[in-house]
Amino acid sequence: MPEVPERWPGSFVVDLDGVMIGQILLRRAPSSRRSAAAGKVDLGYLFLPRAWGFGYASEACAAALEWIEGVLPGEPVVLTTQTANVGSMSLAAKLGFTEVERFRAWDAEQWLGQWSPVCSATEPE
């Protein structure tokens, strides 16, 4: 891992018993993206369907957020998902993301949330 992350702050493989079940990506949102996300670290994740519902995404994303806080202290992180994706909406809430805006893209309503380490550290567990 680079000491000072640039465009791709982090890319992590999530494995279970030596088998890849998912991936976490932290990348710098391009300036052409929605103004609320432009230039911020964007959290993305992808897990195999057989790994859904066991808390792996929650655990891995929380670890990635802890890592980014260590290498880029105070850096806000954004996450975008479709409002119809109940699992991702629940994960965003569990991780402490708060809604910034909703917009329409890819023929569906999208949700943009932001996680700020300072706010997250003060929330009760």
pLDDT exceeds 50 at position 125: no
User: Tell me, what's the pLDDT at 117?
Assistant: 80
> Two tokens at 51?
């790994």
Q: What is the mean pLDDT of residues 45-61?
A: 96
> Do the Cβ atoms of 80 and 42 come closer than 8 Å?
yes
Res. 36 pLDDT band, cuts 50 70 90: confident
d(CA 14, CA 97): 21
Q: What is the pLDDT of residue 15?
A: 95
β-pair partners for 115: 77
Measured distance CA(116)–CA(33) in Å, rounded = 19
Taking the C-alpha atoms of residue 91 and residue 58, their distance in angstroms, rounded to an integer, is 6
Q: Are 77 and 42 in contact (CB under 8 A)?
A: yes
